[in-house]
């Protein structure tokens, strides 16, 4: 454990050293309409509005163009974007009344029911039952768990060509509890029985588990392209943990001293952007929910109930990114696994796409 912590600390330091030389520039991913105009002073006693909060967040946010962070330090960059993005504890699918004016919509009964449904399908991934959180995963098909490729690599390891090694004797699995009041029980833990897919292009892995109970329903992946002309309220549901070497005071405030438990993480989505990650040119959805280690693999859900992305990457003090499900389900190898898809996916012509060359490398055992 001590060795793992020292390695993570070293990666964090390397990342900060790398980023210290990167040019800073302003960002308008989430620019509220009031920015650029003179704001009316808020009168004493007037309740803060969502627009007030958005404006404050925008005025204090600086972006760093880090789309080409070296691959070996890439995934040390999960990101607390700003302290207006809370991480709300989930217990038994429920959460306490949200008092932050920016997120008070989450007190609506319909939204509470949606969060409860997503919570039932979402769990934390560990190397064995009772161990710490490696990442987040969620049910997305009959006995199928979706998470990130880099989370899967933590479970089975990579060979010299960075191919995933699956050991059928692994004790790795998913725990659908790990809440403050209920850490685990025999009915919440499901051991992985098979590695179904380890995607070389998208940061996605799919595992199979033994038969799931009937109250845990899969989340359908939206095949509809995310609306590029809007900024949408959304949320992640996952298991953010404390990251050694990052701002530990900010993490403590965010997690209230309780890392690695199930949390609702609201935020905003914006138009998909092209980014370069680990040598891969990707289309990704930017979002500003606060994430930490353990958030990887979280479902990204709009408040109208669409699973539009899978969180996979954060840029320190800048932005977080999700794999668009609409892009993911265009790959025939993905849909062939049996994932549940909402809407008609637009299959790539001939099954070809930006993933094709990466599959060729993977199939031939080349370095990925």
**Those residues with Cβ within 8 angstroms of residue 255's Cβ, 6 or more apart along the chain or in another chain:** 87, 240, 242, 263, 292
From the list 312, 305, 266, 306, the residue with the least C-alpha distance to 30 is: 266
Give the tens place of pLDDT for each residue, 80-100: 554 557 888 999 899 999 988
From the list 77, 11, 73, 68, the residue with the least C-alpha distance to 280 is: 68
pLDDT range class, residue 178, cuts 50, 70, 90: confident
Most confident of 162-171, 176-185, 322-331: 322-331
Q: Any alpha helices (H) in 229-321, and if so which ranges?
A: 248-255
* Residue 253 token pair: 């405030």
* CB 107 within 8 Å of CB 202: no
**Those residues with Cβ within 8 angstroms of residue 229's Cβ, 6 or more apart along the chain or in another chain:** 271
> CB 89: neighbour CB atoms within 10 A?
18
Residue with structure tokens 């760093």? 64
Residue with structure tokens 């979280």? 298
Lowest mean pLDDT among 122-126, 257-261, 282-286: 257-261
Pick the CATH number of 88-101+220-358 from 2.40.10.10, 2.60.40.420, 3.50.50.60, 3.40.1350.10: 2.40.10.10
Residue with structure tokens 């989450």? 106
Taking residues 58-77, report their average pLDDT: 37
Class of domain 112-209: mainly beta
Most confident of 124-138, 163-177, 240-254, 284-298: 124-138
- Cβ-count burial of 121 within 10 angstroms (0-12 exposed, 13-18 middle, 19+ buried)? buried
Rounded Cα gap, residues 344 and 223, in angstroms: 6
**Which part of the chain is CATH 2.40.10.10?**
88-101+220-358, 112-209
Provide the whole-model pTM. Answer: 0.76
How far is C-alpha 332 from the chain's CA centre? 23
Give the tens place of pLDDT for each residue, 99-111: 888 889 999 999 9
User: For position 56, what pLDDT does the model report?
Assistant: 38
């Amino acid at each position: 454990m001590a060795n793992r912590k020292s390695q993570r600390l070293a990666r964090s330091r390397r990342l900060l050293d790398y980023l210290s030389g990167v040019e800073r520039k302003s960002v308008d991913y989430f620019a509220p309409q009031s920015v650029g105009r003179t704001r009316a002073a808020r009168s004493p006693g007037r309740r803060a509005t969502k627009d007030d909060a958005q404006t404050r967040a925008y005025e204090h946010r600086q972006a760093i163009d880090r789309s080409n962070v070296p691959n070996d330090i890439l995934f040390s960059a999960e990101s607390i974007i700003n302290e207006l993005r809370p991480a709300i504890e989930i217990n038994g699918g429920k959460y306490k009344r949200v008092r932050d004016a920016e997120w008070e919509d989450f007190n609506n009964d319909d939204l509470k029911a949606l969060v409860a449904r997503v919570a039932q399908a979402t769990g934390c991934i560990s190397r064995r039952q009772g161990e710490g959180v490696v990442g987040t995963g969620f049910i997305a098909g009959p006995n199928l768990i979706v998470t990130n490729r880099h989370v899967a690599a933590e479970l089975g390891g990579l060979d010299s060509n960075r191919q995933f090694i699956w050991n059928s004797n692994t004790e790795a699995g998913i725990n659908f509890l790990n809440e403050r009041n209920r850490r685990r029980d025999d009915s919440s833990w499901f051991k992985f029985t098979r590695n179904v897919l380890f995607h070389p292009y998208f940061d996605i892995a799919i595992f199979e588990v033994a038969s799931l109970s009937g109250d845990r329903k899969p989340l359908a992946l939206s095949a509809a392209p995310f609306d590029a002309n809007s900024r949408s309220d959304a949320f992640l549901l996952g298991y953010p943990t404390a990251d050694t070497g990052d701002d530990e005071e900010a993490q403590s405030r965010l997690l209230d001293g309780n890392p690695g438990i199930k949390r609702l993480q609201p935020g905003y989505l914006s138009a998909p952007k092209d980014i370069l990650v680990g040598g891969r040119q990707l289309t990704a959805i930017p979002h500003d929910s606060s994430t930490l280690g353990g958030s990887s693999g979280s479902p990204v859900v709009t408040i109208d109930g669409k699973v539009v992305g899978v969180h996979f990457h954060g840029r320190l003090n800048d932005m977080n990114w999700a794999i668009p499900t609409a892009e993911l389900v265009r790959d025939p190898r993905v849909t062939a696994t049996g994932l549940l898809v909402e809407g008609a996916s637009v299959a790539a012509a001939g099954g070809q796409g930006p993933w094709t060359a990466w599959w060729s490398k993977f199939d031939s055992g080349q370095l990925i």
